[in-house]
Amino acid sequence: MADAGKDPINDEAKRDAAASIAKAFQDVQAGEEAARQAEERLSRLEAKIEELLASAEAGIEGKEGLGEEMGRVVEELRGLEGGKEEKS
């Protein structure tokens, strides 16, 4: 007769449950690692965006001086063109 204390179906179900739980923990750990890596990438992107914004703001603030300088260059060029026309 079969041993009454041994139930192969119950033992298999327990092994399947234990394997499923172990797999679930592995999946959770993999998900946590993926989330950590994504957070690191987002932090680096945020820092880069802040750097670009600061650079753009500095560029905008410096545009007034640049515009004045460009105006002087344009006037000089016009003066040169006018000098050529006068010589012709």
Q: At residue 35, what is the residue type?
A: A
Identify the DSSP state of 12. H
Reported as a pLDDT band with limits 50, 70 and 90, residue 62 is: low
Burial of 25-57, coded b for 16+ CB within 10 Å and e otherwise, reads eeeeeeeeeeeeeeeeeeeeeeeeeeeeeeeee
- The alpha helices in 1-87, defined as continuous H runs, are 8-87
Task: Read off the pLDDT of residues 33-47 as tens digits, 9 standing for 90 and up.
Answer: 999 999 999 999 999
Q: What is the pTM of this model?
A: 0.51
- Write down the domain spans for the chain: 34-79
